[in-house]
């Protein structure tokens, strides 16, 4: 996600490199590129205009920080503006003081409403809550059946109820029963999956109004498909005008959505994006962190998300040991490198990890490396290191020509592949040494990731 926008913005920033000062002349080209980048990312044109005007005003205004280079100043201004339009803080779910908390899921058919209801229940369960799910889509038996399957898959409570007639009365009755059932089952949250339509119509809106009045929900979350770009923004606005939403969930952010919906929906509705859907599985839901997403857009990566993900699946002690070794004078051994690779594999594909890293400084070339390295190659690297003796793993300098041949034979690879790995390993050791220098940390903190 955001790759294109990210690349285009990088180009705009590049045009300012080597300039001594920001002037109306050199900013003109950069602003043109920024405007185009945002428009091509399908950001709402009004939002683009506002943002570009503000960037221009700030860049040429008096409050530019002279400690930064002109290119860095513009990166910072664009970063601040993007964060401002996405909302500064991570929006939280609002809970009722008296349970159950009611979360009404709204949205058009196909937006991912039912899947998201399940993901949200799963996420809440992981947070120690006891959610109950109910579908009040009395018009589509398949939709109710789908939620049942979802609830079973994540092992969450579901209120099924009976549907004899498909009308608003039944919807209201089901919702009432579900709330009662949630209370008597000790569930502190009720997630209501509502009827989806292909288009907004009056009956749908009336029914949502009824549910809102009856349930007085803490949250009305609009589920929008990020791939539909400005259509998602427009329907969010219509729902908001009629229902007063409390937040938005943007789904399918793992696809090749250009990011425009994310960047416009808050500005247009005034409501925060609370979660993003990043896959079809039930754990593919993430709280939306504006600052991190902006980091990703600007090519500074999403280091914090990566750290969170890593913390969830990686042996923390081992990683800390590796980091302290890597950053120490002696550096890390090939055995440490192999252990680390195993951990990396636990995190998912190399591509997805690299995508979260910043594209600055020593990381800049990583994307190109990753494009060449597929996950099979990770296994090959592991096999090569496995074919070394423990002594060789600790002292890579002893690996001479004949040893390389033996290792290649043992691992079913070629001498070239062994050479390449040893070269990469040396480069990595060098990279970590650079990172351990105070000057690097200073630069990184200056970028405020």
Sole window of 273-281, 294-302, 331-339, 438-446 interacting with ligand GDP (rule: CB under 6 A) = 273-281
Question: Judged by CB under 6 A, does residue 260 bind ligand GDP?
Answer: no
Question: Judged by CB under 6 A, does residue 410 bind ligand GDP?
Answer: no
Does 254 appear as a known binding residue? yes
Quote the tokens at residue 410. Answer: 């043992």
Spatial separation of the C-alpha atoms in residues 403 and 301, rounded to whole Å: 39
Question: Judged by CB under 6 A, does residue 295 bind ligand GDP?
Answer: no
Q: At what angle do helices 303-313 and 334-347 cross, to 10 degrees?
A: 100
Closest to ligand GDP by CB, 107 vs 260, is 107
Closest to ligand GDP by CB, 132 vs 143, is 143
Q: Which of 70, 112, 131, 272 touches ligand GDP by CB under 6 A? A: 112
**Shortest Cβ 150–ligand GDP spacing (Å):** 8
Question: Judged by CB under 6 A, does residue 252 bind ligand GDP?
Answer: yes
Does 251 appear as a known binding residue? yes
**Shortest Cβ 246–ligand GDP spacing (Å):** 18
Spatial separation of the C-alpha atoms in residues 370 and 366, rounded to whole Å: 6
**Shortest Cβ 105–ligand GDP spacing (Å):** 9
275: closest CA among 258, 293, 260?
Answer: 293
User: Residues 138-177 vs ligand GDP: string with x where CB under 6 A?
Assistant: ----------------------------------------
Alpha helices in 41-167 (DSSP H): 45-60, 70-86, 113-126, 141-154
Closest to ligand GDP by CB, 166 vs 183, is 166
Q: Which of 99, 279, 362, 410 touches ligand GDP by CB under 6 A? A: 279
Q: Which of 35, 58, 76, 113 touches ligand GDP by CB under 6 A? A: 113
Does 193 appear as a known binding residue? yes
Spatial separation of the C-alpha atoms in residues 228 and 217, rounded to whole Å: 27
Which residues fall within 8 angstroms of residue 117, CB to CB, at 6 or more apart? 105, 133, 135, 147, 150, 191, 193
Q: CB–CB of 239/18 below 8 Å? A: no
Question: Judged by CB under 6 A, does residue 255 bind ligand GDP?
Answer: yes
Q: Which of 91, 278, 294, 356 touches ligand GDP by CB under 6 A? A: 278
Say if residue 100 is preceded by a cis peptide, omega within 30 of 0.
yes
What residues from 170 to 209 belong to the interface with ligand GDP (CB under 6 A)? 196
Q: Which of 29, 280, 311, 320 touches ligand GDP by CB under 6 A? A: 280
Half-sphere exposure of 72 (CA within 13 A, CB side): 12
Does 101 appear as a known binding residue? no
Spatial separation of the C-alpha atoms in residues 200 and 193, rounded to whole Å: 16
Which residues fall within 8 angstroms of residue 312, CB to CB, at 6 or more apart? none
Quote the tokens at residue 412. Answer: 């079913």
Question: Judged by CB under 6 A, does residue 107 bind ligand GDP?
Answer: yes
Residue 360 exposed, middle or buried by CB count within 10 Å (0-12, 13-18, 19+): middle
Which residues fall within 8 angstroms of residue 401, CB to CB, at 6 or more apart? none
Closest to ligand GDP by CB, 236 vs 284, is 284
Spatial separation of the C-alpha atoms in residues 388 and 401, rounded to whole Å: 13
**Shortest Cβ 284–ligand GDP spacing (Å):** 6
Does 143 appear as a known binding residue? no
Question: Judged by CB under 6 A, does residue 111 bind ligand GDP?
Answer: yes
157: closest CA among 128, 127, 115, 189?
Answer: 189
Q: CB–CB of 296/288 below 8 Å? A: no
274: closest CA among 262, 284, 264?
Answer: 262
Closest to ligand GDP by CB, 42 vs 137, is 137
Sole window of 79-87, 155-163, 246-254, 292-300 interacting with ligand GDP (rule: CB under 6 A) = 246-254
Closest to ligand GDP by CB, 240 vs 404, is 240
Sole window of 103-111, 128-136, 290-298, 357-365 interacting with ligand GDP (rule: CB under 6 A) = 103-111
Sole window of 16-24, 102-110, 202-210, 351-359 interacting with ligand GDP (rule: CB under 6 A) = 102-110
Does 252 appear as a known binding residue? yes
- The binding site for GTP comprises 107-114, 193-197, 251-254
Contact positions toward ligand GDP, by CB under 6 A?
A: 107, 109-115, 196, 251-252, 254-255, 277-280, 284
């Amino acid at each position: 996600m955001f790759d294109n926008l990210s690349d285009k913005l990088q180009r705009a920033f590049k045009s300012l490199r080597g300039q001594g000062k920001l002037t109306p002349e050199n900013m003109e080209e950069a602003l043109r590129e920024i405007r185009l980048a945002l428009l091509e990312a399908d950001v709402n044109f009004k939002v683009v205009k506002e943002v570009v005007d503000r960037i221009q005003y700030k860049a040429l205004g008096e409050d530019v920080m002279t400690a930064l280079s002109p290119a860095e100043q513009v990166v910072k201004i664009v970063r601040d503006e993007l964060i401002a339009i996405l909302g500064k803080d991570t929006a939280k779910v609002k809970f009722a003081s008296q349970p159950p908390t009611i979360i009404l899921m709204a949205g058009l058919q196909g937006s991912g409403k039912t899947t998201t209801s399940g993901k949200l229940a799963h996420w809440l369960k992981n947070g120690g809550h006891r959610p109950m799910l109910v579908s009040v889509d009395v018009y589509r038996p398949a939709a109710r059946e789908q939620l049942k399957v979802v609830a079973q898959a994540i092992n969450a409570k579901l209120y099924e109820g009976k549907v004899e007639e498909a009308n608003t009365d039944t919807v209201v009755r089901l919702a009432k029963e579900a709330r009662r059932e949630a209370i008597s089952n000790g569930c502190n949250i009720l997630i209501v999956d509502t009827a989806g339509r292909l288009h907004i119509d009056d009956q749908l809106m009336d029914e949502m109004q009824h549910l809102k009045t009856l349930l007085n929900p803490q949250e009305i979350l609009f589920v929008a498909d990020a791939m539909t770009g400005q259509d998602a923004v427009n329907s969010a606005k219509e729902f908001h005008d009629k229902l007063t939403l409390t937040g938005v969930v943007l789904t399918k952010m793992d696809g090749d959505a250009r990011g425009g919906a994310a960047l416009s929906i808050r500005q247009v509705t005034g409501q925060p994006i609370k979660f993003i859907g990043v896959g079809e599985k039930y754990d593919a839901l993430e709280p939306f962190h504006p600052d991190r997403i902006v980091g990703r857009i600007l090519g500074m990566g999403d280091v914090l998300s990566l750290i969170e993900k890593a913390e969830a699946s990686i042996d923390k002690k081992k990683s800390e040991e590796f980091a302290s070794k890597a950053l120490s004078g002696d550096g890390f051994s090939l055995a440490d490198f192999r252990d680390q690779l195993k951990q990396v594999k636990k995190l998912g594909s190399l591509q997805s990890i690299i995508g979260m890293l910043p594209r600055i400084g020593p990381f800049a070339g990583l994307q190109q490396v990753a494009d060449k390295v597929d996950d099979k190659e990770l296994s090959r690297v592991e096999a090569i290191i496995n074919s070394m003796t423990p002594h060789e793993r600790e002292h890579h300098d002893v690996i001479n020509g004949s040893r390389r041949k033996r290792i290649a034979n043992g691992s079913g690879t070629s001498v070239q592949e062994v050479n390449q790995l040893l070269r990469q390993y040396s480069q990595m050791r060098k990279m970590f040494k650079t990172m351990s220098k105070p000057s690097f940390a200073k630069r990184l903190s200056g970028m405020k990731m």
